[in-house]
Structure 1
Amino acid sequence: MSADPAGVRAVYDRNAVAFDARRRESRMETGWISRFAALLPDGAEVLDLGCGSGEPVARLLLDAGFRVTGADFSPSMLRIARATFPRAEWIEADMRDLDLGRTFDGIVAWHSVFHLTVQEQRAALPRIAAHLRPGGVLMMTSGITEGESDGQVGKDRVYHASLDAAEYRRILAGQGVPVTEFVVDDPETGGSNILMARRS
């Protein structure tokens, strides 16, 4: 299917309530969020990039005592997040031109970057990396082979794409954020590929 940012946003807006209800039941992220949290200082500032409704990633981060900022381009998702987690900060933003004017101790981009095209990911990854402080940690999910595919949200198809795993490593290393771990087809998360990187 063709890439269509407005179409992806519309899918999430249309399915926001049902998506949130399903994500509230998810436990697959718990182990990885714990591993991520262990690398951060107490009270760290964390960006949940492509946060959706805040479930479950932002909730787990808040429960760990972090100061959380969630960024997403779906107004409907953000309305739910603001109502559910008023102690976090919620920003309507698009990864394609991300510029929050600040940096973070950690960034989580869980099942979100893959909605960008191959070219958009190449442009966005340096922008994302620029939001990391020295010593900051990035955790994101990705594909491992360059190409396009699709996924599903509710009954709607939604665009997905990936770079090759080696290219993710090259881009991030070039931004001073080398990959420290890249787990492929992780059974704990239903077969997700999880990349961890850290600014030196």
Structure 2
Amino acid sequence: MFSPQGPSLRELCVQALSSVEHGYDLLAPKFDHTPFRTPQSMLDATTRALSGLGPFRTGLDVCCGTGAGMGVLGALCQDGTTGVDFSSGMLGQARSAYPNASFVRADARALPFDAGFDLAVTFGALGHFLPEERPALFNGIYRALRPGGLLAFPAGSRPPVTSIAHWATLGFDLALRVRNAVWRPPFVMYYRTNTMQEVSRDLTATGFTVRTVPLSPPGYNLVIARK
């Protein structure tokens, strides 16, 4: 499915009926051949937007997956990069792709870092956290950053109700809510539970100063939260 190297429909169904952690362990070897990986154009746009805000010594990719964001950090950070994820399968792929980086297996809701990073990024991961879990995520990132450090991540605008994207994301979220109501363990991945207003509110409550800058493609902004 998606490409000859990507997962089959059966493999995706097995993943969808697993926990988030085990599901990504199963998907890891083929993840980079799916549309779920952050597009390189988005990664490049993020690098350009952050390039004038440094210098950055050390960087942290939160929920790094197979390591898409590690390339962004590698281009910006002078003294080393670290990726953190709770899927051992995804971390294995990331270690192979970025052998000079450091990787830590941990739950992003309980990050084991203290004031060690100048820049933190995350790509496509917020949907894995329920609204009530965002404060723990943001508090952990806040602790991980040095004073003045930045958290940055791309965020898309809510698609208009007349668009295909609106109905696709709505249908996906509804299907997962039904799945999680009747099947355990749950698989948390929602596209419509992280509005910019709500995310900004939680970041500000954590102690961040928040602003956004436009990215390409149109309709996307880079959220920049400074400690």
**Alignment TM class, shorter chain as reference:** 0.7 to 0.9
Q: Please report how far the alpha carbon of residue 70 of structure 1 lies from its aligned counterpart in structure 2 after TM superposition.
A: 0.4
Q: Please report how far the alpha carbon of residue 192 of structure 1 lies from its aligned counterpart in structure 2 after TM superposition.
A: 4.6
| Change in 2 beyond 3 A, CA 1:144/1:21 | closer
Cα distance in 2 for residues equivalent to 1:36 and 1:127: 21
Matched, 1:149 2:177: no
Pairwise CA RMSD of aligned residues?
Answer: 3.1
| Change in 2 beyond 3 A, CA 1:141/1:149 | farther
| Change in 2 beyond 3 A, CA 1:28/1:143 | closer
Match of 2:208 in 1: 177
Match of 2:71 in 1: 59
The 5 Å alignment of 1:29-108 reads: 29-42=43-56, 44-55=57-68, 57-66=69-78, 67-108=80-121
- Mark the structure with the bigger radius of gyration: 2
Match of 1:195 in 2: 223
SS, match of residue 138 in structure 1:
strand
The one-letter code matched in structure 2 to 1:149 is D
Aligned residues: 185
Match of 2:25 in 1: 13
The one-letter code matched in structure 2 to 1:15 is L
CA contact (8 A) 1:113 1:141 kept: no
The 5 Å alignment of 1:120-139 reads: 120-139=133-152
102, 110, 113: which is aligned to 2:126? 113
Q: Which has the higher strand share?
A: 1
Cα distance in 2 for residues equivalent to 1:174 and 1:162: 18
**TM-score with structure 2 setting the length:** 0.69
Q: Which has the higher helix share?
A: 2
Matched, 1:26 2:54: no
Q: Deviations over 1:42-66 (max 9, x none)?
A: 5x201001111112x2023213454
Q: Please report how far the alpha carbon of residue 168 of structure 1 lies from its aligned counterpart in structure 2 after TM superposition.
A: 2.2
Cα distance in 2 for residues equivalent to 1:115 and 1:61: 22
Q: Please report how far the alpha carbon of residue 25 of structure 1 lies from its aligned counterpart in structure 2 after TM superposition.
A: 6.9
Cα distance in 2 for residues equivalent to 1:164 and 1:74: 26
| Change in 2 beyond 3 A, CA 1:158/1:182 | farther
Match of 1:167 in 2: 198
SS, match of residue 180 in structure 1:
strand
The one-letter code matched in structure 2 to 1:159 is M
SS, match of residue 48 in structure 1:
strand
